[in-house]
A and B are shown apart, each in its own frame.
Chain A
Amino acid sequence: MSSNINNKITGIGQILRKDWQLYLLLAPMVIWFIVFLYTPMAGLQIAFKDFSLFKGIYGSTWVGFEHFQTLFNDELFIRSIGNTFLISLYSLVFAFPMPIILALMFNELHHAMFKKTAQTIAYLPHFISVVIVAGMVVSFLSPTTGIVNLVLDYFGFEKTYFLTNPDYFRPIFIGSTMWKEAGFESIVYLAAIAGVNPSLYESARVDGASRWQQIWRITLPSILPTIIIMLIIRIGNLVEVGFEYIILLYQPATFETSDVISTFIYRVGLQGSQYDIATAAGLFNAVIAFILVYSANRISRKLSSSSLW
Chain B
Amino acid sequence: MNSANVTLSVSNVSLKKVYKRYGSTEIVKGIDLEIGAHEFVVLVGPSGCGKSTTLRMIAGLEEISDGTVSIGERVVNKIPPKDRDVAMVFQNYALYPHLSVAENIAFGLKLRKTPKDRVKAAVDEASSILSLDPYLERKPSDLSGGQRQRVAMGRAIVRHPKVFLFDEPLSNLDAKLRTQMRAEIKRLHKRLQVTTVYVTHDQVEAMTLADRIVIMRDGKIEQIGTPMDVFLHPANTFVASFIGSPPMNLLDGKIRKSDGKVAIELNDGCIVPVPHKDGMSFTDGQEVRVGFRPEDLDVVVNDQNHTAPMNCSVDLVEPLGSEALLHLQIAGQSAVAKTTSHGRSSDMSGIANTTQVFGNLKHLHIFDRASEQSIY
Contact = CB atoms under 8 A, between A and B. Distances in A.
20 contacts: A199-B92, A200-B94, A202-B94, A203-B88, A204-B107, A204-B111, A205-B61, A205-B80, A205-B82, A206-B84, A207-B82, A207-B87, A207-B108, A207-B159, A208-B82, A208-B108, A209-B111, A217-B111, A218-B96, A221-B96
Interface residues of B, number: 24
A202 B155 CA distance: 14
B137 to A, nearest CB: 15
B113 to A, nearest CB: 10
A123 B86 CA distance: 41
A199 B61 CA distance: 10
A222 B108 contact: no
Contacts of B94: 197, 199-200, 202-203
Contact of A221 (B60, B81, B84, B98): B98
Tell me the dominant secondary structure on chain A's binding face.
Answer: helix
Interface string B96-112: 11110000000110011
Interface in A187-206: 197, 199-200, 202-206
Contacts of A222: 97-98
Contacts of A308: none
Contacts of A206: 59-61, 81-82, 84, 86-88, 165
B90 A203 contact: yes
Contacts of B88: 202-203, 206
Across the A-B interface, the 10 shortest Cβ-Cβ residue pairs: A207-B108, A208-B82, A203-B94, A199-B94, A221-B98, A206-B88, A206-B81, A208-B111, A205-B81, A199-B90
Contacts of B155: 203, 207
Contacts of A10: none
Nearest to A220: B98
A199 B52 CA distance: 13
A197 B61 contact: no
A28 to B, nearest CB: 37
B82 A209 contact: yes
Contacts of B60: 205-206
A197 to B, nearest CB: 7
A152 interface: no
B98 A202 contact: no
Contacts of A205: 60-61, 80-82
Nearest to B82: A208
A197 B141 CA distance: 14
Contacts of A202: 59, 61, 88, 90, 94
Nearest to B107: A207
Contacts of A288: none
Contacts of A203: 88, 90, 94, 155
A222 B84 CA distance: 27
Nearest to A208: B82
Tell me the dominant secondary structure on chain B's binding face.
Answer: loop
Contacts, number: 58
Nearest to B99: A221
Nearest to B98: A221
Contact of B111 (A197, A213, A221, A224): A213
Contacts of A210: 82
B112 A208 contact: yes
A206 B86 CA distance: 7
Interface in A210-244: 210, 213, 217-218, 221-222, 224
Interface string B145-183: 000000000010001000001000000000000000000
A221 B104 CA distance: 13
Nearest to B84: A206
Interface in B38-78: 59-61
Interface string B279-291: 0000000000000
Contacts of B107: 204, 207, 217
B81 A197 contact: no
Contacts of A200: 94, 96
> Which of A202, A206, A224 is packed against the most chain B CB atoms within 10 Å?
A206
B170 to A, nearest CB: 16
A202 B57 CA distance: 12
Nearest to A205: B81
Contacts of B84: 206
A197 B92 CA distance: 9
Interface in A122-149: none
Contacts of A218: 96
A216 to B, nearest CB: 11
Interface string B184-222: 000000000000000000000000000000000000000
Contacts of B81: 205-206
Nearest to B158: A207
B175 to A, nearest CB: 24
B94 to A, nearest CB: 4
A199 to B, nearest CB: 4
A305 to B, nearest CB: 10
Contacts of A204: 107, 111
A206 B81 CA distance: 5
B77 to A, nearest CB: 16
B120 to A, nearest CB: 18
A197 B99 CA distance: 15
Contacts of B82: 205-210
Contacts of A207: 82, 87, 107-108, 111, 155, 159
A213 B80 CA distance: 15
Given A199-B92, A207-B111, 18 more contacts: A202-B94, A203-B90, A203-B94, A203-B155, A204-B111, A205-B81, A205-B82, A206-B60, A206-B61, A207-B82, A207-B87, A207-B107, A210-B82, A213-B111, A217-B111, A221-B96, A221-B99, A222-B97
B140 to A, nearest CB: 11
Contacts of A224: 98
Contacts of B111: 204, 207-209, 213, 217
A202 B88 CA distance: 9
A213 to B, nearest CB: 6
